[in-house]
A and B are shown apart, each in its own frame.
Chain A
Amino acid sequence: MNARRSVAAALSAAALLATAACGGGSSDEQRPANAASPQSFPTEDVTLTMWWWGEQEAPGAKQWLADTVKAYEAKHSNITIKTVLQTTDGLIPSFEAAAAAEQGPDIEYFWGGIYSQQPYWSDSIVPVSDYIPADELSHYTNAALEDTYDGRTLTAPWYVNPQFPVLARTDVLDEHGLQVPTTWDELLNVCDVLSAGGVTTLAGGVKDGWFGGWLYSMLGAQSVASKDDVTAAVRGDQSFADPNHAEWWTRLEETREHGCWNDDINSLELYQAQQRWVDGDAAMTITAGTDAPNFVEKVGADKVTVTTMPTWGDGAYAGKMGTTSQTVGITSWSKYPQVAADFIMFMHTPDRLQAWYDQTGSLPADDRFDMSKVDDPVKKQLFAYAADGAPYLENFIPSALDGKAVFAGVQLVLQGSKSGEEAAADMQAEAERLRRTDRSLVDNFEGWTD
């Protein structure tokens, strides 16, 4: 986006060409079009560091990664890969600190969309498409939707997260003569009946903020025509106070008015609140798509219906689940980006894709994964939702807007100290302020949309 990047890109290309000319060898079949040519694969000892996240939402990922690293190191005796699991709150700040010092991981985990765009805009990563061939990347799910800028794929999708399934306990609803709600009116009716009976309809926790972003994506997607509406509002071409962007805040306010949530939603973290649902103290909750099968298993599949957020809007995405891929990228300071890319491609080999599914129960972000091997009905349903999913809105707004307007606004609306209308106005005001403070924001978002 700036001269610095162009110079850096030119220097990188020159260095890689020089390296390629100097020789070397590798045994891999998959080779990128440019930099990671067989000649550029190092023969000296190489140590890569990978900072990652995901065990939190896809239990089993840690073991899968350890196995994958082991298999890769067995194949390349001169390569060592160290993996460091990050915390949820620390994932972004740790990387930002590393980026400021230009040292740290060679491979970094990024959530999709804005989380893979921003590091590129700040020169912290190099596009994976510089090292991974286009025909290989074309198999990676959601890469084009979320992780592409100006024709370059920035990060490589790893696994798909259906964002976010609503899990309904039919046993709790049955006790009160209720059905799983599919429309907004039905949901509010369930809330009225259950709250009168002292039962929580929806278990949630917003103390840690993240759940606010989930709710924005699930409710807000129902009234926008496409993700471009959202990026247009970020650029200032639309307003977050316009009805198609603001209406969801009012729906959120209605959930509070109808007593849908647990009364301590503001003092609980999301993961603490989800346990209420497991314990049978709440009829419904919302989980990460990757983790949903585990929750269903804890309660018993016969007592659970996996569904989407009840519909209130008539937009194209009403009744759909969002879809996003969690990704990995290559840092701009990595001395061996070609090795990092090679490892990423190794993560997508058929054996590893199958192992990912077997060990985590979640969907690898690769259309070469053999879906016929999925026999669990819950997973099958989730994967079907993800295949026909809506864009996950939170991934298309700046993280500063997410944190300052969405996270904070949801907390206040659910606590009752702010109305939906006021929260929408706050979000618009914050977007306007961000356009002033982040002086590259509009240009970057224009490049992303184009």
Chain B
Amino acid sequence: MPGRLQRARSGEAVAEAAVPVLSAADYQGILADTLAAGHRLLACWGEPRPEGRVLVTAAIAGDRDPTVGLLSTLAGGPLPSLAGECPAVHLFERELAEQLGVVPAGHPWFKPVRFEPPLRPGPDPWGRTLPLAGVAGVPPFFAVEGEEVHEVAVGPVHAGVIEPGHFRFQCHGESVLHLEISLGYQHRGVERLLAGGPTARTVALVESIAGDTAVGHALAHARAVEGLAGVEAPPRAAALRAVALELERLASHVGGLGGLAADIGFQPTASACGALRAEFLNALAELCGNRFGRGLVIPGGVRFDLSAGEAAALAARIDRAWAQVEGTARVFFRAASVRNRIDGIGVVAPRLARRLGLVGPSGRASGIATDARASHPFPPYDAARLTPAVQEAGDVAARARIRRDEAAWSAAFVAAALRALPPGPVAVAVPPPRGDRLVISLVEGWRGEICHAIRTGADGRFARYKVVDPSFHDWMGLQVALRGQQISDFPLCNKSFDLSYAGHDL
């Protein structure tokens, strides 16, 4: 990484003044160079400054350096778009325009992201003013023209019990030429509500960024706040947090395999995984009373402890459940009727995945061997020596195998961690956050890298709280995976990515 960046470890707060404010040309030059050199954009956000200007800050990271690079620029008008050169930034640029009016000049597909009102007064770049009620999913949509081309529009309300989103398929017969996904229906103003915190509501709110990733987001938040306050959670708390994070991964990956099986119509694995997913959710509930781990992780540690007997019983339960998952997964991956549906379907080639900046299992299925548990580890992952699971095929089968392999690691990790919980307290007192600090907190949730960025004002309150759920990086992956596919394979491709609408929409 170039020397002109401020570096910080994940969860380490730096003085706001230490982050260099570069000229727009330098900022963009460094961003483009580092991304081209294989680094990834973790987050990019704006904050209003006097005279209509916007302080834009980017956080970048690589695989070999356990730090995060920070750089800023003060934008007084449009910035030239980098999306053509570095597609990974395309949605961040649109978000910046929607929230704070920084127009990415020359952006190839300039649209609002969430159809949310701007974070500062006045019309946004599309001339929209408040109130913006009920305008999500409006045209234009990328359209293909031709005599035999037709368009299929689906959503926001779908056939299953799932979250809302709008999908526009450009089709020729059964085959999809292009898919555009328009989201924002789940927007509920999370970042607005977090600003001004911490309050009594803050933890419950971050647990509601994506309900199936409550532990992941709560942990990213807790580590950020601990960084701002200058404390660290005690070892026993760190171990219990990791147990919860891996249980969340297990539940989601096992449930995801079951979902794929259901979409294929392979009933044995579909029903078995439905029940086995519950084993891991119930294990979380044994720990904290809630099946999604809500209420467990707080700044300073965790709210619940396990006795030696409870921990041993839970470990045995995980071992038993995992043995059953292995059995049903083996049957799934061996069945010809399954192979026939998942091999070579929904391919995202490694080169494209890298350019799009895919993260998590979706990225690792396309050869991107990045996992924040390995690249930016915190206790106890620093001692766990995780080697990221990786596949090269980039298809539905690869994404499914990644999830099975990661779940296997998690099951072994959880059982071992429960049998060797370090002694001591499960929480420490957390003083108020220090003022004028910036912290980036990275956690590898089950969908990939979760990034929370907090800047405190002089009073120590959250002046800006930026959340990046891994889904924000990965939705574009699903859109390109559909190209050239049968439209009937959409549910399967969608399930193989298993992305969060709520996490994207905030």
Are A and B a genuine interacting pair, yes or no? Answer: no
Q: Which residues of A contact B (CB under 8 A)?
A: none
- Spell out B's residues near A (CB within 8 Å): none
